[in-house]
Chain A
Amino acid sequence: MTSSGAWQMSLGVLELGNVVAMWIGAYLFLSGSVTIGTVYLVFHYLRLVKFPLLDISAEIQNLPQARAAVQRIRELFDVGPTLPDTDDARSPGELSVEFKGVSFSYLPERSVLKDLSFELRPGRVLGVLGRMGSGKTTLSRLVFRLCDTDRGVVQLGGVDVREIRLDELRRRVGMVTQDAQLFNASVRDNLTLFDNSIDDGRIVRCLDDLGQEPWLRLLPEGLDTVLTAGGDQLSAGEGQLVAFARVFLRDPDLVILDEASSRLDPATESVVERAVDSLLEGRTAIIIAHQLATLERVDDILIIDDGRVVEHGSREALAAAETSRYSGLLRTGMEEVLS
């Protein structure tokens, strides 16, 4: 109802128009040049134009605000991708993973990975071990090309990841994060991430493979049940299984699994383990391990510390070697590496 000072000023200026109309109207009427009807008509017309004029003045006052808003939006549009995509897409074949002298830092002077090299052959499962901050997560981000290396090359199937189209890369590589971010949308959309080309049959089969069929049956409206963003309907374990299902549905050739560092209750744990088994079948995989038990299913082990490879080899070989860190771990437990 009430508004800005500028608006009040405009109103005052328009009222001045009435004063002028009174002055001139009185003069013209008394001199006999216009009728009293004409004098009234001028008042009436002034009344009619008053509010449209005020509206226009209010709109004009909004312009600077609009300009500032446009400026802020333009700043967002000006942000370009820092990862240049490639046009001549080379498609990697069987997915092996190879790091060649890779260095990387988020901030200058603080390198996270230092001249890191290793190779993972297709179809094998690699367990990555290391302390917090040793560079495990960064390693997986480089494979996935969430960022690019400072020096060195990451190759998938013998092809530099920078020469693979991003959507091709991310179609071939699936990543299971520690917790699934849930959307305030149906269970179906949460699993497929809004991809409606995936039919319900496949979703149900996938949940079945992951041992989640009972959970699905408990949902009041099945796949149409809408989840709230807080994820109250899902326990921690179920949240992780959603992350599994998302990757499973996309059927990637390489899986990166960031294992949950927090413990789940035993019942959920066994379901998750079954899910991991079916996910790894017939795929190359990198598991960022937080629990010793997880390593029992891997073929190769890579231990990194402060961005460098400390130990790399097949699990059997490392377990057999008396002096290896891994065999030390098997004797003393996980804490030595992780703390």
Chain B
Amino acid sequence: MSTLRYLLRVVRLSPWLFVMSNVLSIGFYGLPLLFGLILREFFDSLVAATPVDLSTQMLVALYALLIPLTTVVSMGMSASDGFFGVRVMSSLQRNLFKGIMSSRPPVGGPNPGDMVNRFSQDTEAFAQPVQEGAYLIGFSVSFGAAFVIMALVNLPMAVIALAPLVVVVLATRMLQDYVQRFREATREATSQVTGSVGELVGAVQAIKIANAEGRAIQHFDILGDVRRQAFLKETVVAAALDSINLMSVTLAMGAILISGAHLMRAGTFSLGDFALFTTYVTVWPVAVFPAFFGGLLANYKRSRVSLERLFEVLPPESRDVLFERNLMSNAGGAPRISLDHVPDSGRLELLELVGLTYRHPDTDRGIENFSLRIGRGTFTVITGRIGAGKTTLLETLLGLVPADAVGASF
């Protein structure tokens, strides 16, 4: 199944919030464009280079009115998008837990620190494209609209102004794999530290007994130092990339200045147009869009890696559990546990096993065609050598492992 199909199943965990976030995102990213348009009219009305429809005062008032509107829309967007994110993450983590619990843990599972990592970071990395998808439409519409508005003013200038953004993003994209290596190293080091915290806390007595308090802390220090170094490297590289990205805005401003100067002298490019262009290349939905889109593509790739890591700790038969919809409500406190399914008249009279079979997939040991009748009030001893199947029998009976051939009745 393709990554996209899996991600669509994640969207289905909370589809309405996803739609709502996308609708709000159009306003959230679109409204800032209006500020540029108002500024353009404002400057043009001041120098009266082009005829204006609205008076200067009206423009200032309009600008002031837009501010609370933008704030309200962005708060709504934050709420919807944030709630969607929490919904998706908590559903995924809960489902992952349920999936792991639904069957025997896989043999040779990862250490606790790594497991914590899978729970927190891999679920997040897997769902990342979906989280970003919640404002993809608004982002794209806003960028497209900005380009159209600029192109209507002057098409070559629009291309010149936006080209540096796209070019720089393409260049930094090529460095992403390089950055990714540092990110992986940090994650691995963090995983070691969190795992070590768990171990040390769990082994306090063993450490005291061995008189190893100082050495255990020293060991922890070393792990912490490795993490610090990895984190520092990642931060430096990421900051360098960020500043290159920021530089693209400065480059765009330069491009507008150089090519705009002679157009302005010729009178085909007004001061208002100039204000509009410089606002658009610096205002964040437009300036950040190329980087956002590039990031989305990279996150899409990374999403698959994390999904595979989640599948690794899930038994194959309970992978679908990960995408189960469970409507967790914050209203009304914790859910009540229903005991309806416990039969109240159920006095166990007879336990009967007919042809119960389970073989461990890795060792091929287990029980085969096991039949047994145990009546109420009788006392049965089950004995046998190590590996004869005593534990497996009980596990199969209790449903801890799936029976290959079923035949237990009460």
Point out residues on A near B: beta carbons under 8 Å.
1-5, 8-9, 11-12, 15-16, 18-19, 22-23, 26, 29-30, 36, 39-40, 43-44, 47, 144, 146, 167, 170-171, 174-175, 177, 180-181, 183-185, 189, 193-195, 228-230, 232, 246, 250, 265
| Extra pairs beyond A19-B60, A184-B195, A230-B109 (12, CB < 8 Å) | A2-B81, A3-B78, A16-B64, A22-B60, A144-B209, A146-B205, A170-B209, A170-B211, A175-B209, A181-B206, A193-B215, A194-B215
Closest to B39 in A: A43
Contacting pair B209 A16 (CB below 8 A) = no
Point out residues on B near A: beta carbons under 8 Å.
28, 35, 39, 42-43, 46-47, 56, 59-60, 63-64, 67-68, 70-71, 74-75, 77-78, 81-82, 107-113, 132, 135, 192, 195-196, 198-199, 202-203, 205-212, 215-216, 218-219, 271, 275, 278-279, 282, 292, 386
Can you list 28 pairs linking A and B with CB atoms under 8 Å apart? A2-B135, A3-B78, A11-B71, A12-B71, A22-B59, A23-B60, A26-B56, A26-B60, A40-B43, A40-B275, A44-B278, A144-B209, A170-B208, A170-B210, A177-B205, A180-B206, A181-B199, A181-B203, A181-B206, A183-B199, A184-B199, A185-B219, A193-B216, A194-B218, A229-B111, A230-B109, A246-B210, A250-B210
Contacting pair A232 B75 (CB below 8 A) = no
Contacting pair A228 B211 (CB below 8 A) = no
Q: Specify which chain A residues have a CB less than 8 angstroms from the CB of B108 in the assembled complex.
A: 228, 232
Closest to A166 in B: B211
Q: Specify which chain A residues have a CB less than 8 angstroms from the CB of B202 in the assembled complex.
A: 181
Known: A29-B46, A180-B206, A183-B203. A195 touches B212 (CB 8 A): yes
Contacting pair B209 A47 (CB below 8 A) = no
Known: A181-B203, A194-B219, A229-B111. A18 touches B63 (CB 8 A): yes
Q: Specify which chain B residues have a CB less than 8 angstroms from the CB of A195 in the assembled complex.
A: 212, 215
CA–CA, A196 to B47, complex, Å? 79
Known: A171-B211, A195-B212. A228 touches B111 (CB 8 A): yes
Contacting pair B39 A8 (CB below 8 A) = no
Q: Give the Cβ gap from A32 to chain B, nearest Cβ, in Å.
A: 12
Q: Specify which chain A residues have a CB less than 8 angstroms from the CB of B82 in the assembled complex.
A: 2
Q: Specify which chain B residues have a CB less than 8 angstroms from the CB of A194 in the assembled complex.
A: 212, 215-216, 218-219
Q: Specify which chain B residues have a CB less than 8 angstroms from the CB of A193 in the assembled complex.
A: 207, 210, 212, 215-216
Contacting pair B211 A167 (CB below 8 A) = yes
Q: Give the Cβ gap from B32 to chain A, nearest Cβ, in Å.
A: 10
Q: Specify which chain B residues have a CB less than 8 angstroms from the CB of A43 in the assembled complex.
A: 39, 275
Q: Give the Cβ gap from B357 to chain A, nearest Cβ, in Å.
A: 26
Contacting pair A19 B107 (CB below 8 A) = no
Q: Specify which chain A residues have a CB less than 8 angstroms from the CB of B207 in the assembled complex.
A: 193
Closest to A145 in B: B208
Known: A9-B71, A22-B42, A47-B282. A36 touches B209 (CB 8 A): no
Q: Which 9 pairs from chain A and chain B are nearest by CB?
A: A170-B211, A181-B203, A193-B212, A194-B215, A12-B71, A229-B111, A181-B206, A2-B78, A194-B219
Known: A36-B47, A43-B275. A146 touches B208 (CB 8 A): yes
CA–CA, A292 to B205, complex, Å? 27
Q: Give the Cβ gap from B3 to chain A, nearest Cβ, in Å.
A: 21
Contacting pair B275 A8 (CB below 8 A) = no
Q: Give the Cβ gap from B202 to chain A, nearest Cβ, in Å.
A: 6
Contact residue among B47, B113, B135 (Cβ-Cβ distance under 8 Å from A184): B113
Q: Give the Cβ gap from B307 to chain A, nearest Cβ, in Å.
A: 22
Contacting pair B63 A8 (CB below 8 A) = no
Q: Which of A5, A12, A16 has the most chain B CB within a 10 Å cutoff?
A: A12
Q: Specify which chain B residues have a CB less than 8 angstroms from the CB of A22 in the assembled complex.
A: 42, 59-60, 63
Q: Specify which chain A residues have a CB less than 8 angstroms from the CB of B205 in the assembled complex.
A: 146, 177
Q: Specify which chain B residues have a CB less than 8 angstroms from the CB of A170 in the assembled complex.
A: 208-211
Closest to A14 in B: B67
Closest to A19 in B: B64
Q: Give the Cβ gap from A129 to chain B, nearest Cβ, in Å.
A: 22
CA–CA, A170 to B207, complex, Å? 11
Q: Give the Cβ gap from A238 to chain B, nearest Cβ, in Å.
A: 15
Contacting pair B67 A15 (CB below 8 A) = yes
CA–CA, A29 to B46, complex, Å? 8
Q: Specify which chain B residues have a CB less than 8 angstroms from the CB of A232 in the assembled complex.
A: 107-108
Contacting pair A229 B70 (CB below 8 A) = no
Closest to B195 in A: A184
Q: Give the Cβ gap from A318 to chain B, nearest Cβ, in Å.
A: 30
Q: Specify which chain A residues have a CB less than 8 angstroms from the CB of B209 in the assembled complex.
A: 144, 146, 170, 174-175, 177
CA–CA, A193 to B200, complex, Å? 11
Q: Give the Cβ gap from B45 to chain A, nearest Cβ, in Å.
A: 8
Contacting pair B219 A189 (CB below 8 A) = yes
Closest to B85 in A: A2
CA–CA, A23 to B71, complex, Å? 21
Q: Specify which chain A residues have a CB less than 8 angstroms from the CB of B112 in the assembled complex.
A: 229
Q: Give the Cβ gap from B114 to chain A, nearest Cβ, in Å.
A: 9
Contacting pair A26 B46 (CB below 8 A) = yes
Q: Give the Cβ gap from A110 to chain B, nearest Cβ, in Å.
A: 21
Q: Give the Cβ gap from B30 to chain A, nearest Cβ, in Å.
A: 15
CA–CA, A47 to B63, complex, Å? 15
Q: Specify which chain B residues have a CB less than 8 angstroms from the CB of A189 in the assembled complex.
A: 219
Contact residue among B35, B43, B198, B212 (Cβ-Cβ distance under 8 Å from A36): B43
Q: Specify which chain A residues have a CB less than 8 angstroms from the CB of B208 in the assembled complex.
A: 146, 170
CA–CA, A180 to B35, complex, Å? 67
Known: A47-B282, A193-B212, A194-B215. A5 touches B199 (CB 8 A): no
Q: Which of A8, A18, A44, A229 has the most chain B CB within a 10 Å cutoff?
A: A229
Q: Give the Cβ gap from B360 to chain A, nearest Cβ, in Å.
A: 15
Q: Specify which chain A residues have a CB less than 8 angstroms from the CB of B63 in the assembled complex.
A: 18-19, 22
Contact residue among B67, B78, B203 (Cβ-Cβ distance under 8 Å from A4): B78
Contacting pair A12 B67 (CB below 8 A) = yes
Closest to A227 in B: B111
Known: A19-B60, A26-B56, A177-B206. A5 touches B215 (CB 8 A): no
CA–CA, A1 to B282, complex, Å? 16
Contacting pair B78 A8 (CB below 8 A) = yes
Q: Give the Cβ gap from A165 to chain B, nearest Cβ, in Å.
A: 11
Q: Specify which chain B residues have a CB less than 8 angstroms from the CB of A18 in the assembled complex.
A: 35, 63
Q: Specify which chain B residues have a CB less than 8 angstroms from the CB of A23 in the assembled complex.
A: 60
Closest to A27 in B: B56
CA–CA, A246 to B205, complex, Å? 14
Q: Give the Cβ gap from B137 to chain A, nearest Cβ, in Å.
A: 14
CA–CA, A250 to B135, complex, Å? 61
Q: Give the Cβ gap from B384 to chain A, nearest Cβ, in Å.
A: 13
Q: Which of A8, A19, A146, A194 has the most chain B CB within a 10 Å cutoff?
A: A194
